[in-house]
C-alpha cells in the first residue's frame, strides 16, 4: 500500500489536529467502549468464535497520506456469498478513534483506489485526520450533496474548527433520524400519483444542456410537499405535471416521503440550488436566459446577481410575474424577440406550471422551468436559510420565520396534511401488496 502512495511533503504545514479535538475524540471513544464493554468482552468474541461474524479489514489513506487499516464487523455468509453488514459493523472504528487513526469528524477515509478522484495525495483533505462523520456524508443524507465530494472536503478543511466539527456531528446525528442513504435509486419514482424523474443535480444539468443542443422543447417542474397538496385538489395542475417532461422532487419532505414509502429519492432538486449551476452551464454553452416572475424589479435584481457572478452569461430579459391575460400576447412576443432559449418562470405553483404548459412553445424558449420563489432569494428580497439549517432539512422553518403570514398555512398545516397523505399511501400500498400475495 505504501508503494502506491507517494511522499507527501507538499501538504500545508498545519497542525493535523486541534488538541481539543483529540481530547474530544479520545473521550468519546473511551465512553463508547465503556458503554459497549459487555458487547466487546462477551458477545463479539463469542460470535467471532462461533463463526457468525468476522472482522473484515480495508486499507484507507490517513492523514498526510499515511496508510491506515480499518476493520469492520460483517456477518459470515453461507457458501461464499457476499458478507452482509451488521448493526455493529462500525464498532471496531472506536479503536481507530482511540489511537488517532480516525477522528470523529473529518473527510471520509477513502481507499487507495479512490485517490484519483481527488487528484492525488496533495489534496488538502489529507492534511487532516479522516473522520467517522463527514460533511459530504451529512449532505448525502440530507439530499443536498451537489458538486463533488472533493469540493465538500475542501470546504471542510478550509472552515475546519472545533466548533464546526461539533456542528457537523450534531447535524449528522440528527439527519440519521429522518433520512436514509439513497443507495440504489430507481430512475423514476412515483409519490402521491406524481411521477418523478429520480435525477441528481448533475444529471439534470447535463439533460438541460442536451435538450438545448438538440433543440428539444422541455418543460421542467419542481414538486415539493406543498405542490403535492395542491395537486391533490387541482386536476388541471395534476394534468399539467403529468405532461411535464421532467418532474423533480424538491425538499426534505419528499425525501422523508421516499423513505417512508421505500421509494428513495436521489437528491433534492430545486430551482434555487439549480440556478447558479445553470447560470454557469449557460455561460459556458452560450445559451441565453429569460427571467419571468416575482414582484416588480425582483427578476432584474436576480439577473444582476447572475450577471455579476457569471459575466459570460447572456440574460435575454426580465419581467415581473404580475400581468393580466390581455398583456400576455405582447409579453410572449417580447420573450420571443429576445431569442431566449431558457425561460425561468417564478410565479408559484400551480400558476407557473400551467402558464408554461400553455405558453412555452409560443415563447420560443426551448427549456421552461417553474422555479417558485427563486428570484426572491437571488435578488436578496428574501434571505435564504443558512447552510447548516438546510443540512438538517430545516429550510422550511426559516422560510416560515421569514414570511410567517404567507407561509404558516403551507408549513404548519400543509406539512401534516402531506405526511397524512403519505401515511395513507403507505397503508394502501401495503394492503395492495398483501392482497396480491
How far apart are the C-alpha atoms of 292 and 335, rounded to whole Å?
Answer: 9
Of 115-123, 207-215, 340-348, 354-362, the segment contacting ligand UDP by CB under 6 A is 340-348
Residue selected from 244, 282, 315, 347 as contacting ligand UDP according to rule CB under 6 A? 347
> What does each C-alpha distance from 161 to 19, 123, 158, 165, 276 come to in angstroms?
11, 19, 9, 6, 28
Supply 252's cell numbers. 426534505
How far apart are the C-alpha atoms of 133 and 118, rounded to whole Å?
Answer: 18
Is residue 251 a contact point for ligand UDP (CB under 6 A)?
no
Is residue 328 a contact point for ligand UDP (CB under 6 A)?
no
Asked whether 283 and 312 are in contact (CB, 8 A), the reply is yes
How far apart are the C-alpha atoms of 367 and 344, rounded to whole Å?
Answer: 8
Asked whether 199 and 188 are in contact (CB, 8 A), the reply is no
Q: Which is nearer to ligand UDP, 238 or 426 (CB)?
A: 238
DSSP state at residue 2: G
Least Cβ distance, residue 293 to ligand UDP (angstroms): 4
Is residue 321 a contact point for ligand UDP (CB under 6 A)?
yes
83 CB burial (10 A radius; 0-12, 13-18, 19+): middle
Least Cβ distance, residue 110 to ligand UDP (angstroms): 36
How far apart are the C-alpha atoms of 221 and 427, rounded to whole Å?
Answer: 28
How far apart are the C-alpha atoms of 434 and 118, rounded to whole Å?
Answer: 47
How far apart are the C-alpha atoms of 81 and 361, rounded to whole Å?
Answer: 55
Least Cβ distance, residue 1 to ligand UDP (angstroms): 49
Supply 45's cell numbers. 468474541
Of 58-66, 77-85, 123-131, 372-380, the segment contacting ligand UDP by CB under 6 A is 372-380
Distance of CA 248 to the CA centre of its chain: 12
Least Cβ distance, residue 235 to ligand UDP (angstroms): 20
Is residue 314 a contact point for ligand UDP (CB under 6 A)?
no
Is residue 348 a contact point for ligand UDP (CB under 6 A)?
yes
Residue selected from 372, 393, 394, 414 as contacting ligand UDP according to rule CB under 6 A? 372
Of 132-140, 179-187, 240-248, 287-295, the segment contacting ligand UDP by CB under 6 A is 287-295
Asked whether 256 and 276 are in contact (CB, 8 A), the reply is no
Is residue 207 a contact point for ligand UDP (CB under 6 A)?
no
Residue selected from 225, 258, 293, 364 as contacting ligand UDP according to rule CB under 6 A? 293
Is residue 346 a contact point for ligand UDP (CB under 6 A)?
yes
Supply 129's cell numbers. 485526520
x/- track of binding to ligand UDP for residues 62-101 (CB under 6 A): ----------------------------------------
Supply 163's cell numbers. 466548533
Residue selected from 124, 167, 317, 373 as contacting ligand UDP according to rule CB under 6 A? 373
Interface ranges with ligand UDP (CB under 6 A): 293-295, 321-322, 346-349, 351, 372-373, 375-376
Amino acid at each position: 500500500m505504501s508503494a502506491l502512495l507517494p511522499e507527501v511533503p507538499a501538504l500545508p504545514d498545519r497542525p493535523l489536529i486541534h488538541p481539543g479535538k483529540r481530547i474530544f475524540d479520545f473521550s468519546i471513544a473511551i465512553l463508547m467502549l465503556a458503554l459497549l464493554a459487555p458487547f466487546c468482552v462477551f458477545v463479539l468474541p463469542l460470535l467471532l468464535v462461533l463463526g457468525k461474524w468476522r472482522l473484515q479489514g480495508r486499507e484507507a489513506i490517513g492523514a498526510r497520506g499515511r496508510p491506515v487499516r480499518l476493520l469492520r464487523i460483517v456477518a459470515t455468509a453461507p457458501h461464499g456469498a457476499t458478507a452482509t453488514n451488521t448493526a455493529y459493523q462500525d464498532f471496531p472504528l472506536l479503536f481507530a478513534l482511540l489511537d488517532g487513526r480516525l477522528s470523529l469528524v473529518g473527510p471520509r477515509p477513502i481507499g487507495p483506489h479512490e485517490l484519483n478522484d481527488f487528484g492525488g495525495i496533495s489534496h488538502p483533505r489529507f492534511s487532516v485526520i479522516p473522520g467517522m462523520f463527514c460533511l459530504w456524508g451529512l449532505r448525502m443524507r440530507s439530499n443536498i450533496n451537489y458538486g463533488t465530494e472533493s469540493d465538500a472536503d475542501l470546504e471542510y478543511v478550509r472552515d475546519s474548527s472545533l466548533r464546526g466539527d461539533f456542528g457537523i456531528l450534531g447535524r449528522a446525528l440528527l439527519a440519521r433520524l429522518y433520512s436514509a442513504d439513497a443507495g440504489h435509486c430507481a430512475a423514476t419514482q412515483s409519490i402521491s400519483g406524481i411521477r418523478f424523474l429520480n435525477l441528481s443535480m448533475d444529471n439534470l444539468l447535463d439533460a438541460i444542456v442536451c435538450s438545448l443542443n438538440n433543440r428539444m422543447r422541455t418543460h421542467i417542474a419542481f414538486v415539493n410537499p406543498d405542490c403535492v397538496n395542491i395537486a391533490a385538489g387541482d386536476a388541471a395542475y395534476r394534468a399539467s405535471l403529468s405532461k411535464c417532461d421532467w418532474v423533480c422532487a424538491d425538499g426534505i419532505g419528499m425525501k422523508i416521503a421516499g423513505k417512508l414509502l421505500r421509494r428513495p429519492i436521489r437528491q433534492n432538486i430545486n430551482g434555487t440550488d439549480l440556478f447558479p449551476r445553470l447560470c454557469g452551464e449557460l455561460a459556458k454553452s452560450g445559451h441565453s436566459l429569460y427571467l419571468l416572475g416575482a414582484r416588480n424589479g425582483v427578476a432584474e435584481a436576480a439577473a444582476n446577481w447572475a450577471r455579476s457572478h457569471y459575466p459570460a452569461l447572456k440574460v435575454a430579459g426580465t419581467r415581473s410575474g404580475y400581468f393580466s391575460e390581455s398583456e400576455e400576447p405582447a409579453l410572449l412576443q417580447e420573450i420571443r424577440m429576445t431569442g431566449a432559449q431558457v425561460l425561468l418562470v417564478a410565479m408559484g405553483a400551480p400558476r407557473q406550471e400551467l402558464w408554461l404548459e400553455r405558453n412555452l412553445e409560443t415563447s420560443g424558449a426551448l427549456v421552461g422551468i417553474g422555479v417558485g420563489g427563486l428570484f426572491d432569494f437571488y435578488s436578496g428580497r428574501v434571505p435564504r436559510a443558512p447552510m447548516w439549517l438546510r443540512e438538517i432539512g430545516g429550510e422550511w422553518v426559516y422560510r416560515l420565520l421569514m414570511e410567517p403570514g404567507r407561509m404558516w398555512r403551507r408549513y404548519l398545516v400543509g406539512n401534516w396534511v402531506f405526511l397524512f397523505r403519505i401515511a395513507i399511501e403507505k397503508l394502501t400500498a401495503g394492503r395492495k401488496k398483501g392482497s396480491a400475495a
